[in-house]
Chains A and B, each alone.
Chain A
Amino acid sequence: MIIAQVVGSLWAAQQDPGFDGQSLKLVVPQDARDGKVEGNTVLAVDLVGSRQGDTVLIVYEGSSSRLCLCSETTPTEAVIVGIVDRMDLVGG
């Protein structure tokens, strides 16, 4: 899993039917040590109702992501599975 910050949301003119009823969020990976947001934008299916600015936990690996969705037909490798309240990092 990775830690990322939600920077926005997106809606589609047309999409694969596997995404029907799913919410899509734009996220950017976040460094657990200093909270710095850096890296390329990732688009993830949101299962937890995250909001812009939230720090979230993302499963970013194909088959595990589809396990969270209980779906073999949603073509995604990225799913938001948690909203981070707090992180404690020792010696990071």
Chain B
Amino acid sequence: MFLGVVRGTVVASHKDPGLEGASLRIVLPVNHDRSQAGALLVAVDTLGSREGDLVYLVKGKEACIPWKKSSLAPIDAAIVGLVEGMQVS
């Protein structure tokens, strides 16, 4: 998993039926010091994150797990937690 900051939303009215009803967020991957850790990506959000939120995400096959509507949905990234706090050395 990795950290990210929610930067925006994607609206796609014509999409795969497996994604019907999914909220899509644009997320910037970041490190624990908030430095950029990669390119912007689109992730499914089942938690109701908002722009500016620090979240954590899972990438790959496991990204389908939070999406209960279909186990075969074409999802490769999902927001799985909203960060409340971190303790970092």
> Could you tell me if A10 and B60 are in contact, using CB atoms closer than 8 angstroms?
no
In the complex, per-residue mask of A6-48: 1 if CB is within 8 Å of any chain B CB, else 0: 0111111111101100001010100000000000111110000
Query: Closest approach, in angstroms, between the C-beta of B40 and any C-beta of chain A?
Result: 15
Q: Which residues of A lie under 8 Å from residue B81 when comparing CB positions?
A: 12, 14-16, 19, 24
Given A8-B88, A13-B83, the answer on whether A41 and B63 have CB atoms closer than 8 Å is no
> Could you tell me if A40 and B2 are in contact, using CB atoms closer than 8 angstroms?
yes
B61 at the interface (CB under 8 A from A): yes
In the complex, per-residue mask of B50-89: 1 if CB is within 8 Å of any chain A CB, else 0: 0000001011111101100000000000101111111111
Interface size on B, residues (CB 8 A): 32
**Contact stretch, chosen from B11-19, B20-28, B29-37:** B29-37
10 contacts between A and B (CB under 8 A): A7-B32, A10-B56, A19-B81, A24-B1, A40-B2, A40-B29, A41-B30, A41-B31, A52-B89, A75-B58
